Amino acid sequence: MIEPLILNLQARDSVSAREAEVLRSMIVREHRFVVGEDMVTEGSRPSYSTLLLDGIAARYKVLEDGRRQITALHVAGDFVDLHAFPLKTMDHSIVALSACHVGFADHGDLKRVTETEPHLTRLLWLLTVIDGAIHREWIVAMGRRSKKSHMAHLFCELLMRLQVVGKTNNNSFSFPLTQAELADVPGISLVHLSKTLRLLRDEKALDWVSRTVTIHDWRELVRLAEFEPNYLNYYTESR
């Protein structure tokens, strides 16, 4: 059941059978969130962290005028709020963008891991640090890439992350967001997002129909995005 997490970790470092067992025993109390439901709320102090087993979730902040900015997208195998373990208080909310299947890891158990499992601790630490690396790549995309390149970059990243956890079919994957939701990733208007996606479609780089993204021309997409996957820290790429 926690296979996506194991795959995620194994893509970066070796995981012993015992460590996998520790993780398995730690993920308890499965739960399902429906589309649009908040999984974690800003200001809360959760006593557990949430492992996404299936679905797509987003971290976001809302400004005073109601506009929203998504700061991260999460897929199966991601701990959406592992940072809340050292951090205690949530500084943002997390919403289920599709139906989401999750499991919970109690912070008490995580604390015990830090006391008895140094290597596993470093693996979990690594996961939060990779979140940070993705944040940085997003900052670069927002600051310096064209919107077209930014979107190309996002789809490159999502394809790779989903491939690692086995959630792709060839070069396509389920992506059941609305354009209004996706527009909150680059922080642009729904109208302009629509026009930007049209550019990628016109170049036959990718399609996004009936809630499924299909990448037709990976090479071209990578070129448009200047996509360099080493920030995702997969074995095969950066070592």
Partner DNA sequence: CGCTGCATTGAAGGCGGTCAAACTGCGTGG
Partner DNA sequence: CCACGCAGTTTGACCGCCTTCAATGCAGCG
Q: Which of 111, 119, 192, 223 binds DNA (CB under 7 A)?
A: 192
Partner interacting with residue 147 (select from DNA, its own copies, none; CB below 5-8 Å by kind): DNA
Spatial strand order of the sheet with 212-215 comes to: 172-174, 212-215, 206-209
Does position 154 interact with DNA (CB under 7 A)? The reply is no
Q: Which of 82, 134, 162, 188 binds DNA (CB under 7 A)?
A: 188
Does position 185 interact with DNA (CB under 7 A)? The reply is no
Does position 135 interact with its own copies (CB under 8 A)? The reply is yes
Does position 63 interact with DNA (CB under 7 A)? The reply is no
CB of 208 to DNA, least distance (A): 8
Alpha carbons 96 and 75: distance in angstroms, whole number: 10
CB of 182 to DNA, least distance (A): 8
Alpha carbons 159 and 148: distance in angstroms, whole number: 17
> What's the DSSP call for residue 79?
B
Give the DSSP per-residue string, 115-182: HH-HHHHHHHHHHHHHHHHHHHHHHHHHHHS-HHHHHHHHHHHHHHHHHHTT--BTTEEE----HHHH
Does position 194 interact with its own copies (CB under 8 A)? The reply is no
Number of residues that bind its own copies (CB under 8 A): 51
- Supply 178's token pair: 């609305």
Q: Which of 14, 146, 169, 238 binds DNA (CB under 7 A)?
A: 146
Alpha carbons 197 and 220: distance in angstroms, whole number: 15
Does position 148 interact with its own copies (CB under 8 A)? The reply is no
Q: What are the b/e assignments for 188-210, b being 16+ CB within 10 Å?
A: beeeebeebbeebeeeebbebee
Partner interacting with residue 41 (select from its own copies, DNA, none; CB below 5-8 Å by kind): none
Q: Which is nearer to its own copies, 74 or 145 (CB)?
A: 145
Alpha carbons 35 and 97: distance in angstroms, whole number: 5
Residues forming the site for DNA (CB under 7 A): 146-147, 178-180, 187-192, 194-198, 210
Site residues for its own copies per CB under 8 A: 43, 59, 61, 63-64, 67-69, 71-72, 83, 86-89, 91-92, 111, 114-115, 118, 121-123, 125-126, 128-133, 135-140, 142-145, 184, 186-187, 226, 230-231, 233, 238-239
